[in-house]
Structure 1
Amino acid sequence: MRLVTYDGGRVGYLADDRVVDLGGLVGGHGEPGAMRRLLARWTEVRDSLPPPSAANSVPLADVSLEAPVPDPSKIVAAPVNYRDHKSEMELKVDISDLAVFLKAPSSIIAHGGVVRLPYADRRVDQEGELAAVIGKQARNVSEAEALDHVVAYTGLLDITMRGGEDRSTRKSFDTFTPLGPWLVTTDEADAADAIDLDCTVGGEHRQSSNTRHLIWGVAKLVSYISTVMTLEVGDVIATGTPSGVGPLTAGDKVSVTLSSIGTLTVTVAGSDGTVSPTGTRPSGKD
């Protein structure tokens, strides 16, 4: 099932080229948002969704898609989780040494959004990734049961400013986490360790890999993270990027395509000329 957030926080599912509204299944307003409320009830309602009709659906072309989970309690990200990315960055460490880091939820934008470069004097790269979305609270779960806590997958771009600052700073600027275009539930997505990833920038093919090459797969990531912090419904796990990262410039169109999931596309806008107030690292390494 493809689940969408659209038109001011409404939620629905895609039936061919129509969006079927599911607002009646979530009810209420405020926190958490509608998608998180839907995911919390997903196992209860997934087999009894209303069929599409003229009364409860609209053409996909007529809606404005938003980030599928616009308000996760946290985004947990995996640094250096492909060996080829470790090699291209000339690093001696990977996720097994670094563990995970947090990105600010305020950095999320939707499919079709605009990534804004913050400074005129800093390099900013694209990092295409698979994102896993939590559907059931997870605390101290084993690797064997970890995927039972994942409800869906989606595309993610971990936009990254290079330099010596902490990862959570360099990756948390507003607009630095494009997410979408929708969620694909785990029963319809390819297996967690068998998802193809391709990323293009300005028509140039930059990244191509498969999640079988992850150093820590999705199950290990979820299990480990759950020993550090409780994962809540709607939390987003960015699983890491393969080799092929590179600089972004104003006007670029960036797309990441994941097999069985779809294509997330954003554009890039230049900075206003502001110079970074913090130090740079000329090598550009992560």
Structure 2
Amino acid sequence: MKLVRYGRPGKEKPGLIDDEGKLRDLSGVIDDIGPEQLSDKAIKKLSKIPHADLPLVRGNPRMGVPVAKVGKFIGIGLNYYDHAEEMGLPIPKEPIVFMKATTCLSGADDPVMLPKGSKKTDWEVELGIIIGTRARYVSEKDAEKHIAGYCVINDLSEREYQFEQGSQWDKGKGCDTFGPVGPWLVTRDEVYQVNKLDLYLELNGKRMQTGSTENMIFSVAQIVSYLSQYMTLEPGDVIATGTPPGVGNARKPKRFLKKGDFLRLGIAGLGEQQQDVIAYQQY
């Protein structure tokens, strides 16, 4: 299934995309798509509902973050062999872990807002993992059982904040709007080869990133297992698994986002995001 949350920010309703690509309303069945709806049992129950019987949603509503009440937003750095190479950095021996503030979460097509005074905001298309059941000290063999599904993430990063203002990556990763997630959560049972998915990102119509999850240094199962040794992963937690080559910081000359830019990015089978880049604004 493709599960979504649609509508105005803070007023999203639960829904799903049916086999014909049409948006169906789930609000008569569940209140929201949050941690309680992400277990295998809950997803199986939803899958048994005749989708054609659900109300059809007209128009083209905004897609919000496909899961509510995200507790943790975790990132993995330098997780593609070809991205580490373009950055001129050694292959990590263990996953590089950082946190993205949950306040940076936004819908797949919401505008990307440049931080106040930012000059080095960069893009990163990434495979996202959404946890379905609690994971604590799980093995690689059992790790995928704890995953509800997968999604597209743009792990936006302010490189000056990340690399030039101390040693903590988190400052450059958690700015408002720096975490577009979605447009939907594709349940685990529909993603057959998660370690062989094509990714892409375009800036103003020009291809910047082309990659495949088969070039990940640490696989999905390795990431979930590794993280569970150091923190309890809860239903609804989101993990960004790293980006392929082609980021602005590695280009010659470097290219960073500016007001008026337009991003389009996606992953095979998981959907596409489109974002206008706007200047900082107080709200």
TM-score (norm 2): 0.87
Q: Aligned in 2, Cα 1:62/1:93: closer, same or farther, shift over 3 Å?
A: closer
Post-superposition offset of 1:229: 0.7
Asked if 1:74 corresponds to 2:72, the answer is yes
Which of these residues, 11, 16, 21, is aligned with residue 14 of structure 2? 11
Post-superposition offset of 1:65: 1.5
Which of these residues, 235, 242, 247, is aligned with residue 240 of structure 1? 242
TM alignment of 1:37-52, pairs within 5 A: 37-40=36-39, 41-52=41-52
Which of these residues, 241, 254, 258, is aligned with residue 249 of structure 1? 258
Q: d(CA) in 1 for partners of 2:118 and 2:103? A: 23
Q: d(CA) in 2 for partners of 1:208 and 1:60? A: 34
Post-superposition offset of 1:250: 1.1
Q: Aligned in 2, Cα 1:98/1:3: closer, same or farther, shift over 3 Å?
A: closer
Amino acid at match of 1:174: D
Q: Deviations over 1:226-284 (max 9, x none)?
A: 11111111111100001100121111111211111111111111246xxxxxxxxxxxx
Post-superposition offset of 1:162: 0.7
Post-superposition offset of 1:187: 1.5
CA contact (8 A) 2:156 2:179 kept: yes
Q: d(CA) in 1 for partners of 2:266 and 2:192? A: 13
Which of these residues, 121, 135, 138, is aligned with residue 124 of structure 1? 121
Post-superposition offset of 1:125: 0.6
Q: d(CA) in 2 for partners of 1:108 and 1:71? A: 11
| 1:277 paired residue number | none
Which of these residues, 16, 23, 30, is aligned with residue 26 of structure 1? 30
Post-superposition offset of 1:19: 2.2
Q: Aligned in 2, Cα 1:17/1:98: closer, same or farther, shift over 3 Å?
A: closer
Q: Secondary structure at the match of 2:184?
A: strand
| 1:36 paired residue number | 35
What is the aligned-residue RMSD (CA, Å)? Answer: 1.8
TM alignment of 1:155-174, pairs within 5 A: 155-163=152-160, 164-165=164-165, 166-174=168-176
Q: Secondary structure at the match of 1:268?
A: strand
Asked if 1:64 corresponds to 2:62, the answer is yes
Q: Secondary structure at the match of 1:184?
A: strand
| Structure 2 unmatched runs, 5+ | 249-255
Amino acid at match of 1:37: E
Bigger shift: 250-259 or 16-25?
Answer: 16-25
Amino acid at match of 2:79: N
Amino acid at match of 1:86: A
| 1:30 paired residue number | none
TM-score (norm 1): 0.86
| 2:219 paired residue number | 217
Post-superposition offset of 1:133: 0.7
| Structure 1 unmatched runs, 5+ | 28-32, 273-286
CA contact (8 A) 2:82 2:215 kept: no
Amino acid at match of 2:193: A
Post-superposition offset of 1:74: 0.5
Q: Aligned in 2, Cα 1:184/1:98: closer, same or farther, shift over 3 Å?
A: closer
CA contact (8 A) 1:257 1:263 kept: yes
Q: Aligned in 2, Cα 1:98/1:154: closer, same or farther, shift over 3 Å?
A: closer
